[in-house]
Structure 1
Amino acid sequence: MTGRQWVLALSAGEEAERHAAVASLVALGPAALPALMGELRDDTSPVTETALLSVLCSIGASAFDPVLDVLQDAVPGSHWRALRVFTRLGTPALEGYLRALAHDDPFVRRAAVMGINDCGEDALPVANLLVPLLGDGDEEVRRAAVRAFCSWGAVVVPLLQMVRRDGPGTARGGALECLAEIGGEAAVSARDRAALERLVQIKLMDDIPVPISCCFLSWIAVSTGDQAGVMEMLGLPAAYPVPFSAGVDAADCDSHGGLDDDPHHQYRRVFVTPELAGWTLVVGSWCDPSAAEREAAVLKACEHLSARYGRAQAYWYGAQSDGSAVLVAERGETVRRLAYIPGDDTQHLELGAPLAYEQDCRTALGLPALTAEHLEVDEDDDEWMWELLEMATKLAGELSIDPLSIDADTPARGVGLLALTEYGRRLGAPCGALRL
């Protein structure tokens, strides 16, 4: 069989035939590379990337330059096949990746960083050679370098701290971002913290509200501008000022927590807005009125806040049609709580009589009014289910303020604060660089 026939045999239906093809191509060594590269270039080839890699990795370092040539020649938009193979050549290609860090094409530099990152701990001895990429002129390359250092974790903290101290200057910003992602405040020097505080103060001088848009958005709205009083009642003593957009970014990042070993990590921090059109919002997963760990505490908090300020509401909203949850408290009592989360049993959250807003929505849809005997959602009631999915933000717009509608024209007074909750004080502040 010819080299190309052996390559095509990598996609054979019989496992024995595929194994024989791998063995034959590895035996051919560099002589098999032209045929392998032909299939790598062909996006319609039946030979999978995994099959090509099994041979290329066995051939070793001599495969690097041919794969690099294919990557450079790939047409933008159809280069993903070559990119995935290039970045997974492994430790034998480490020397080639290091050479490619100086390539003129930023796409190749980024691919080289990704390949080095894929080498895992084997790349740690040469991590210092990636430092200049933390200040690369191409943002995608710089981001790839940041991700690589962050993936290596605490072991590269001394190197990053040295970059902050001694340079190169262009890499200092990227190094600081990595330190914040890896170790949070504990990994950042007092000098850097002071510099960041000065930067925050400068940005706060012309800070403006922006839409509070998160993939999973939870918030408590209180009808007052007494930010300090709200925080005192919620037990939020540890706080520092941040630009509005940075607070929103922090809330969004935190809302993706709960997927690691400790589901309480997502509750460690909240963003407390300045007064917005007469309301103060507390934003973060800690405010979710439907979360099993938080539902009782959020209900109690809203009742206490409404006893003092007249009205307090809590909401949860999933931006990808994940559902809504609503809690409305007035003058110390819960008036209404409901939730609709597809696939979840939320009937136990149902409290109070339907709000006028709910009944008005059903009337507009030509649906019968909700009654004590008819509160559950009928599975075939598509129009009402779609309404419930959006209930949190729409109801907030009627009763208080819709976070998604906040913008530079929203009346604002004061500055936003990031505050640690009881979870944050116990588990530590979340790691991660604020997007200032």
Structure 2
Amino acid sequence: MPDTVDALVQDLSAKDRAVRRAATEALVALGAAGIDQLLPYALDKHPMNLGREVQSIIERWGDEVLPRLRGIRRTGPGRLRRKALEILVDLGGQEALNDADRRAVERLVRIKILDERPVKVPFEAGRWLAFPADRFDDAVSALELYDVRPATTVMGVAAATQATDCLDVQDSRTATRRAYRVFITPAFENEYAEGDIKRWRMLWGNSFLDELDGFELARELSGRCGEAHFYVLDPYNGSESWYVARDGHTRRAYSTYAYPQFEGEPLPFEAWYTENADEDEAEAYSEGVPDASTAAQNLSVEPGPQLAEDTYDHGWLATTDPAVPNSRFKGALPI
């Protein structure tokens, strides 16, 4: 079998698409019995540089390969143990790990968050809630979050925006409901933020905010935390939105494709932009500030790199269903 596996893996890089497809299907057909021969090719430093293709073949074997991957984690060979761990989590989430590996991952997270400075949250695109940092417990309660656990920022951002961030589960009556995973950032200080609140946290979770309506979530959150914001940067559709809610009511809102675009009276920070707009900007700023990132910079906190001296505490992962802990979500996360 080793000779056969070697030949098939080499065919994965063939110029002929039909040859590549045939090699892929032949390797998949080997099933979990081929894991020991195939796994070395999935290593990031393997000279053939076919890790992604090989890992996708292993993942197509599904649950049948989990026992052998756990065996490699226990007894080696040592050079394969890290990749075995990654694929285990990709296939089954942390629930696929044994107790020793789960404890090791949790211990590594605790170590990493001690000196994770500076941190960075995505700036180019996304959607996020912002709420006062000192109202963390209120926010968790208002949004009905569960299994709240420490997480590094790089881990949390990947969990909420790149990996699987929602899954469907069935109850005893076979009714289906959806559970979401979200990431709450460390607290970030913005001394230029309008008003008395200078430290804010952001909540990221694309599916959660899209499917449950980030505007409504911000309004509900403000009822418990006093104030909450929702921001959207959508370069794909050429649109931006920002929304401020206070004490459960809309205070100010802007959205590119809404009519009218602005809702509520202008906030104090907007007056400066209206008064200082140049000739090209005068029309855009005539009613207020249409830029979500500018609003975030003046009202709470803007995504992107955060200065170490302005960062407090650490991030948190959470889910929206008490029966669905973080360990149920599949996909290996960077730490």
For residue 12 of structure 1, what is the aligned residue in structure 2? Answer: none
Given that 2:150 and 2:317 are in contact with CA atoms closer than 8 Å, whether structure 1 keeps it comes out as yes
Rounded to whole Å, the distance in 1 between the matches of 2:44 and 2:274 is: 53
For residue 192 of structure 2, what is the aligned residue in structure 1? Answer: none
Rounded to whole Å, the distance in 1 between the matches of 2:308 and 2:286 is: 37
Indicate whether 1:339 and 2:255 are aligned. Answer: yes
For residue 116 of structure 2, what is the aligned residue in structure 1? Answer: 207
Given that 2:252 and 2:266 are in contact with CA atoms closer than 8 Å, whether structure 1 keeps it comes out as yes
Rounded to whole Å, the distance in 1 between the matches of 2:301 and 2:65 is: 44
Q: Deviations over 1:59-81 (max 9, x none)?
A: xx9xx89x96xx7xxxxxxxxx8
Alignment of 1:46-57 (within 5 A): none
For residue 29 of structure 1, what is the aligned residue in structure 2? Answer: none
TM-score, normalised with respect to structure 2 = 0.76
Secondary structure, aligned partner of 1:225 = helix
Which of residues 209, 218, 243 is equivalent to 1:327?
243
Shift of 1:177: 0.8
Rounded to whole Å, the distance in 1 between the matches of 2:148 and 2:326 is: 16
Secondary structure, aligned partner of 2:308 = coil
For residue 170 of structure 1, what is the aligned residue in structure 2? Answer: 79
Alignment CA distance shift 1:286-1:209 (3 Å): farther
Higher helix proportion (structure 1 or 2): 1
Shift of 1:257: 6.7
Shift of 1:298: 0.9
Alignment of 1:14-413 (within 5 A): 82=15, 84=17, 86-88=19-21, 90=22, 115-116=23-24, 118-119=25-26, 121-124=28-31, 125-135=33-43, 137-138=45-46, 140-213=49-122, 217-254=126-163, 268-277=180-189, 278-285=199-206, 288=209, 291=210, 293-295=212-214, 297-307=216-226, 311-320=227-236, 322-340=238-256, 346-347=258-259, 351-355=263-267, 360=273, 363-364=277-278, 365-367=281-283, 388=290, 391-404=291-304, 406-409=305-308, 411-413=310-312
Given that 1:276 and 1:413 are in contact with CA atoms closer than 8 Å, whether structure 2 keeps it comes out as yes
Shift of 1:157: 1.7
CA-based RMSD of the aligned residues comes to 3.8
Given that 2:215 and 2:243 are in contact with CA atoms closer than 8 Å, whether structure 1 keeps it comes out as no
Secondary structure, aligned partner of 1:192 = helix
Alignment CA distance shift 1:154-1:354 (3 Å): farther
Shift of 1:357: 5.7
Given that 1:217 and 1:255 are in contact with CA atoms closer than 8 Å, whether structure 2 keeps it comes out as no
Rounded to whole Å, the distance in 1 between the matches of 2:202 and 2:323 is: 19
Secondary structure, aligned partner of 1:137 = coil
Rounded to whole Å, the distance in 2 between the matches of 1:403 and 1:393 is: 8
For residue 316 of structure 2, what is the aligned residue in structure 1? Answer: 417
Shift of 1:430: 2.1
- Of structures 1 and 2, the one scoring higher in RCO (CA 8 A, sep 6+) is 2
For residue 379 of structure 1, what is the aligned residue in structure 2? Answer: none
Higher strand proportion (structure 1 or 2): 2
Shift of 1:194: 0.5
For residue 432 of structure 1, what is the aligned residue in structure 2? Answer: 331
Given that 2:121 and 2:153 are in contact with CA atoms closer than 8 Å, whether structure 1 keeps it comes out as no
Secondary structure, aligned partner of 2:252 = strand
Secondary structure, aligned partner of 1:87 = helix
Shift of 1:369: 6.5
Unaligned 5+ runs, structure 1: 1-60, 72-80, 91-114, 376-386
Shift of 1:427: 10
Q: Percent identity?
A: 25
Alignment CA distance shift 1:253-1:361 (3 Å): farther
For residue 173 of structure 2, what is the aligned residue in structure 1? Answer: none
Give the total of aligned pairs.
306
Rounded to whole Å, the distance in 2 between the matches of 1:155 and 1:361 is: 63
Rounded to whole Å, the distance in 2 between the matches of 1:435 and 1:366 is: 45
Q: What amino acid is the match of 1:398?
A: N
Given that 2:153 and 2:185 are in contact with CA atoms closer than 8 Å, whether structure 1 keeps it comes out as yes
Rounded to whole Å, the distance in 2 between the matches of 1:431 and 1:361 is: 47
Shift of 1:85: 5.0
Rounded to whole Å, the distance in 2 between the matches of 1:295 and 1:352 is: 18
Given that 1:214 and 1:251 are in contact with CA atoms closer than 8 Å, whether structure 2 keeps it comes out as no
Given that 2:147 and 2:319 are in contact with CA atoms closer than 8 Å, whether structure 1 keeps it comes out as yes
Shift of 1:199: 1.1
Q: What amino acid is the match of 1:298?
A: L
Q: What amino acid is the match of 1:128?
A: D
Secondary structure, aligned partner of 1:279 = strand
Rounded to whole Å, the distance in 2 between the matches of 1:173 and 1:82 is: 31
